[in-house]
Amino acid sequence: MIEPLGLLHGPAAAAAVAAGQAAFLAGGPAAFTLVRLPQDGAIMPVSGIPASLHPALLHLVAPPPPWAGLPADRPCVMGIVNVTPDSFSDGGRHLAAEAAVAAGRAMAAAGADVIDVGGESTRPGAAPVPPAEEQARALPVVRALAAAGIAVSIDTRNAATMAAALDAGARIVNDVSALGHDPAAAALVAARGCPVVLMHMRGTPATMPHLLAYTDPPWDVVRELGAQVAAAERAGIARSAIAIDPGIGFAKGTAHNVSLLARLPVLLNFGCRLVVGVSRKGFIERIAGAAAPHARLGGSLAAGLAALLGGAAVLRVHDVAETVQAVRVWQAILSA
């Protein structure tokens, strides 16, 4: 694996690739002009990459395969609907099924490509929720949104909830434990052949605040996610069905989160779609002083657009309309 550096966007990217001075990142439209080697930190131009690294280079330049039926020619937005009493940002707001369904419908109308429904909070320190209770919260919402023709993902660590949600019409499984929490989860996803998001997290929501020791956060996350991707493939899940998420805020401090966002392209070595969730997270407060989660819109948009610059394909957000507007303006500027 290699780390792409010196990113270019818009017409400059295409011109540099045509001149042999850059390579498209994950099929474009962004391109990179330099690479850094993890072994010794050496930096070299794309045109000087030795033949021994060409296989790794191919992983970075090839477009990821289609995933979950979502558009591949633009960034996508995943709207968050937490059917919980204790989620860090909107806990209790959508606990009633009717309120959650209304929120999901509004997000879809505002431009969300998929709605991510969760019945268990995984904020730092959160206690686990029995799968039966999780399902009682989430399934009516999944069923109603899917019946309305809205693409739905189920945010869960539990195989029984995954199965029930897929039966209710969910299209995607989004697991913060990367299928590591429930021993039956990987086999279930493989048998169903559904798209899955594998997120990086150490420990559990209760223990992750104590697992913050990293040597080089981006490469540590790459290595640990790599092991989880390999485990998923051994279980029979196709690489083309896998998207990955660096897990911003999960077992990570502010400096780790910032480092991951600044060097996000390194995660594209897997050839998978990249899902990033920065919306309203605590690192925004620690950087900018916005104490209340709902007051972190500006920081959320800034971090989200930075993630898109780094190759993210899907932004997982609370504020759908504002994010869709920001992404459209960002795209127009980059393509000019």
Return the beta strands (E) in the chain as ranges: 3-8, 23-24, 31-36, 43-45, 76-82, 114-118, 152-155, 172-175, 196-199, 242-245, 273-276, 314-317
Q: Is 252 a catalytic residue?
A: no
The pLDDT value given to residue 95: 75
Least confident of 23-32, 34-43, 235-244, 249-258: 34-43
Would you call 280 a catalytic residue per the annotation? no
pLDDT at 88 over 80: no
Whole-number pLDDT of residue 94: 73
Q: What is the pLDDT of residue 126?
A: 80
**4-13 pLDDT, tens per residue?**
999 999 899 9
Q: How much is the pLDDT for 31?
A: 96
| pTM of the predicted model over 0.75 | yes
By the 8 A CB rule, do 114 and 152 touch?
yes
pLDDT of residue 87: 58
| Residues 6 or more apart in contact with residue 308 via CB below 8 angstroms | 75, 315, 327, 330
Per the listing, tokens 């086999």 go with: 187
Please, what is the average pLDDT of the chain?
94
pLDDT in tens, 155-207: 999 999 999 999 999 999 999 999 999 999 999 999 999 999 999 999 998 89
Q: Per-residue pLDDT tens for 266-306?
A: 999 999 999 999 999 999 999 998 788 999 999 999 999 99
Structure confidence by residue, pLDDT tens digits, 37-75: 887 889 999 988 888 888 889 889 999 999 999 999 999
Confidence bin at 86 (pLDDT 50/70/90) = low
What is residue 127's predicted lDDT score, i.e. its pLDDT? Answer: 81
Residue 209 Cα to chain centre, angstroms: 20
Q: Which residues contact 201 (CB under 8 A, 6 or more apart)?
A: 176, 177, 178, 208, 247, 250, 251
Residues 6+ apart with CB under 8 A from 165: 117, 135, 138, 139, 142, 152, 154, 156, 173
Burial-class residue 104 by CB neighbours within 10 Å (0-12, 13-18, 19+): buried
The predicted-structure confidence for 108-151, as pLDDT tens digits, reads as follows 999 999 999 999 988 787 888 999 999 999 999 999 999 999 99
Closest CA to 155 of 208, 90, 84: 84
Cβ distance 101 to 144 under 8 Å? yes
Q: What is the mean pLDDT of residues 218-243?
A: 97
Q: Which domains does the chain have, with CATH numbers?
A: 3-61 (no CATH), 76-335 (3.20.20.20)
Quick: pLDDT tens for 14-23: 999 999 999 9
Asked whether residue 101 carries a pLDDT value surpassing 70, the answer given is yes
pLDDT of res. 336: 83
Q: What is the mean pLDDT of residues 297-321?
A: 97
Q: Which of 273, 281, 286, 328 is catalytic?
A: 281
Report the C-alpha gap between 230 and 140 in whole angstroms. Answer: 34
Which entry of 143, 252, 273, 316 is annotated as an active-site residue?
316
Is the pLDDT at 91 greater than 60, yes or no? no
How many angstroms separate the CA atoms of 271 and 63, rounded? 7
Res 85: pLDDT: 82
Q: Is the pLDDT of residue 89 over 70?
A: no
Strand stretches in 71-230, DSSP E: 76-82, 114-118, 152-155, 172-175, 196-199
| Cα 144 off chain centre by | 24
Is-contact 188 159, C-beta < 8 A?
Answer: yes
